[in-house]
Chains A and B, each alone.
Chain A
Amino acid sequence: MRRRSFAALAATAFGAPAVGGALAGCAPSPRPGSRAAGATLTVATTTDVVNFNPLVGNSRTDYWITDLMYPRLLTIDDAGTKRPWLAREHGYRDARTGFYTIRDDARWSDGKPVTAADVAFTINAIKRDKPAGNTTYGQLTNVASAEATSDTEVLLHLSTPDATVVREVGFWMNVVPKHVYGTVGNVARFANTSDWVGCGPYTLVSAAKGKAYTLERTEPYPWAPGGTPSLARVVFRVYPDINTEILALRSGEVDLIANTLPPAQVDVLRHTDGITVRKVPGLGYAHLAYNMTHKPLDRLEVRQALAHAVDYAAIRRVVLQGQAVTTHSSPIPPVLHAYTDPPTTTEYRHDPAHARRLLTQAGYREDRHGRFGLSLRMIYSLQDAVTAQWASMVASDAAKAGITITLQGMDRNTYLAKTDAGDYDIYAGNFAIMDDPVTNMALTYLPDGAINYSKVDDPRLSELITTAQVTPDHDRQRELVRTAARLVRDNVYDNVVYMQNFYVAHRSEWTGFEARPSELLTVVDPASLARARRR
């Protein structure tokens, strides 16, 4: 009897691992040519891949991987200016027709050439199937259709004049192969989980969900020196916890960490043997939006008081460890030199006494504890570690000016829901890429803008923005934008706290990386990885 019970117990305990081991699949067979030293770059990331379809809303890692397979028409340089990539030229034939002239030397991994037909197809498919979470879809509002007039020429037929759509769509959209995506019916439902066809520099060959994603070199790749990407393979490995990820980098199990480092770790890793830290310029900003539909935030003095109660320098020093710069309270990222040199705005002064004066002016009275009867709710996402940290600083500094701010940190989905419903007094968050001021301002400050979190509706501001949207003259557009930025700052329609510069870490034996701005591109941009190599 005892033997039987032990046997049963042992059987279960042995059975589970055996079954598990069997199901885990037979051991993979070795890949030819992959053992060459210096040929494989292992990249660590904290987010798992959600799906492999660049047209559907996806996580950061999805973006990095699909970016290595599907080309963009335009890329971006350190100053945030759009530069040619797949599209050699771009612009407008007339007010209602945009165009791209693309290169003729790009190939898909199955040998077929990348043509204007692929570009037109991608645009039309997005408009037709409305994939969830697709950034480009919103940008295509004024586009009626796209047409490939030759192998290298694409025309965008606009329903109303729009001076920004060509640049925006050019940068944000990934071009997918028509001969693959065109066969699936509805691109929004296409999972793209196997038999990947990509343009390179690297194309997926295997994907083990939650574990590792392997991409292999795709030739010819016209953007790499000599037409050949420098690495044989790129492997993305998922480490949900950033601490484990850092340990893996230190032990050499991974060569590069793709996600940007928490500010507190930058200095530590800089001084660690064998590890190099690279700076990546930021392209977005962190901000506080005061909901002007909630009294008393509709009053200018109250908003100004709140703005003066924040200690911007302390936030940049303590939370960001000096890795952030001021935008001078302007909603234009300073890296966009064309718009910000010379600066037209100055940062709100941290001055609690002045804040108190403003509130008294607005009719508030201090009680014997020095508190005004002003209590506001601030929401932020707990998933955003850096914002969560400075949010608490903002609250404690506001208390020094007699303002009570109740912090409401919440998980990302609830945060999105409350943002959507306008259920907050103060919104704290950040935008990763604000690459085109006109488009961004349209979304942020026009009354029906999708990210108009302060619910501002200022006719003067709206006019400036809508005019800029249709002005093809760059200089004129710039002036309008700078004026608009000043207006936003002076009326506290938005309180831009800082712009963060990012840092990524990789092992010192690797070189050749080129940093592209923002945490979306960093050093895993195709141009960078096509040149990375071991010393």
Chain B
Amino acid sequence: MSTQASTAPAVAEPVATAESSARRTWREFRRNPLGLPAVVIVAVLVLVGLCAPLITAAPAGYGPDVLQAPSAAHWFGTDNLGRDIFAEVVWGTRASMLVAVCSSALAIALGVLVAVLGAYFRSLDTAIGTLVDLMLSLPVLPLMILIAALAGPSLPVTVAVIAAFSWPEVTRVVRSAALSVVGLPYMDAARVIGGGHAWIIRKHLLPAVAPVIVVSVVLTASRAVLSAAGLAFLGLSDPRSWSWGRILYEAQQSGAMSSAWWTTLFPSIAILALVVSATLMSIAYNDARNPRNHRR
């Protein structure tokens, strides 16, 4: 019953003007001064993650200079075992992004499926709505802590735990968008001309809610980065792979946060950059495609 106004669904437009709608969205997107820089930053981070081996060597097991401030030899300084923090941040981009992308993908897949089914098959809707509300009422972080602690810290557990608590929000948002589309005349028309359920869902419902899904993907992924970092900070992440959260965790455990500012600053900035850009990107996109925002 509640609405998330910032992601209010746009009314689906007739097929004939689909091309110009996309172009219009892009034009509006470009006009937003926060949108393009955000896309650039995200692109840079993705590139860093993909090309990590080309940028710097993997972080060593340990090194001679422990907790050294940033210098020419170590741009971001060294950590409590003498490892190069620049290398840690660069290579950490991979794990952090991987977790974000995977948990987001899982959450989206599940969330969209449930939402679409609920919107389309009204008989399931009340049950689904109740389940979503129940899940949304659970205290998320404490439960994530509980499960991660008991199931053991590893990448798959982190991804599963974050996805398990992210999908209800996705469902809630997509469902309200889907509900508004399902009632439209052209959906009835499609049924009348004999379209099967799967075909209607695939050809009409999904494209109509696609923009909402896109926004949801990005927002879920960015929140996943923060959740993963939070779990890592509490010692509940995979100790074998480097992630930004792990850099912060090691800094916290060794007491370095109180004396070596570089151990905290750089991974925190990385997290901030990714999350802020991803969020701004999706906000700009959402604003751009909503025709009500177009007039000035």
Contact = CB atoms under 8 A, between A and B. Distances in A.
Interface of A: 241-244, 246-247, 250, 261-265, 268, 314, 318-319, 321, 382-383, 385, 388-389, 392-393, 395-397, 407, 409-411, 413-414
B32 interface: no
Nearest to A400: B61
A411 B152 contact: yes
A395 B61 CA distance: 9
B256 interface: yes
Contact of A262 (B64, B153, B254): B254
Given A250-B258, A393-B62, A411-B152, 20 more contacts: A241-B252, A242-B255, A243-B252, A243-B256, A246-B255, A247-B258, A262-B80, A262-B254, A265-B256, A318-B62, A382-B153, A385-B254, A393-B81, A395-B61, A407-B239, A410-B152, A410-B153, A411-B153, A413-B149, A414-B150
A243 B233 CA distance: 13
B67 interface: yes
A173 to B, nearest CB: 33
B68 to A, nearest CB: 11
15 contacts: A241-B252, A246-B259, A262-B80, A262-B253, A262-B255, A263-B254, A265-B256, A318-B62, A318-B81, A389-B81, A392-B239, A397-B61, A409-B240, A411-B150, A414-B152
Nearest to A244: B258
Nearest to A380: B239
B235 interface: yes
Interface in B224-280: 235-236, 239-240, 252-259
Contacts of B153: 382, 409-411
Given A268-B259, A409-B153, A318 B253 contact: no
A433 B258 CA distance: 29
B173 to A, nearest CB: 24
A319 B81 contact: yes
Chain B interface SS verdict (over half): loop
A425 B275 CA distance: 41
Contacts of A392: 61, 239
B258 A246 contact: yes
Nearest to A247: B258
B34 interface: no
Contacts of A414: 150, 152
B254 A318 contact: no
Contacts of A413: 149-150
Nearest to B251: A243
B70 interface: no
Contacts of B150: 411, 413-414
Nearest to B148: A411
A264 B149 contact: no
B61 A265 contact: no
B239 A388 contact: yes
Interface residues of B, number: 25
B235 A243 contact: no
B43 interface: no
A413 B255 CA distance: 24
A164 to B, nearest CB: 36
B92 to A, nearest CB: 15
B245 to A, nearest CB: 13
Nearest to A408: B152
Nearest to A410: B152
A264 B256 contact: yes
A383 B235 contact: yes
Given A264-B66, A396-B61, A409-B239, A243 B258 contact: yes
Contacts of A243: 252, 255-258
Nearest to B62: A318
A265 B62 contact: no
A385 B66 CA distance: 16
A265 B239 contact: no
A330 B254 CA distance: 28
Interface string B131-163: 000000000000000000110110000000000
A439 B240 CA distance: 37
Contacts of A262: 80, 253-255
A411 B150 CA distance: 8
Contacts of B63: 318
Contacts of A244: 258
Nearest to B238: A409
A411 B148 CA distance: 9
A314 B211 CA distance: 55
Contacts of A319: 62, 81
Contacts of A265: 254-256, 258-259
Question: Which among A318, A383, A388, A395 has the highest number of chain B CB atoms within 10 Å?
Answer: A318
B264 to A, nearest CB: 9
B190 to A, nearest CB: 42
A393 B83 CA distance: 12
A247 B66 CA distance: 21
Nearest to B149: A411
Contact of B66 (A321, A388, A407): A321
Contacts of A395: 61
Contacts of A382: 153, 235, 239
Nearest to B237: A382
B102 to A, nearest CB: 21
Nearest to A418: B152
Nearest to A385: B253
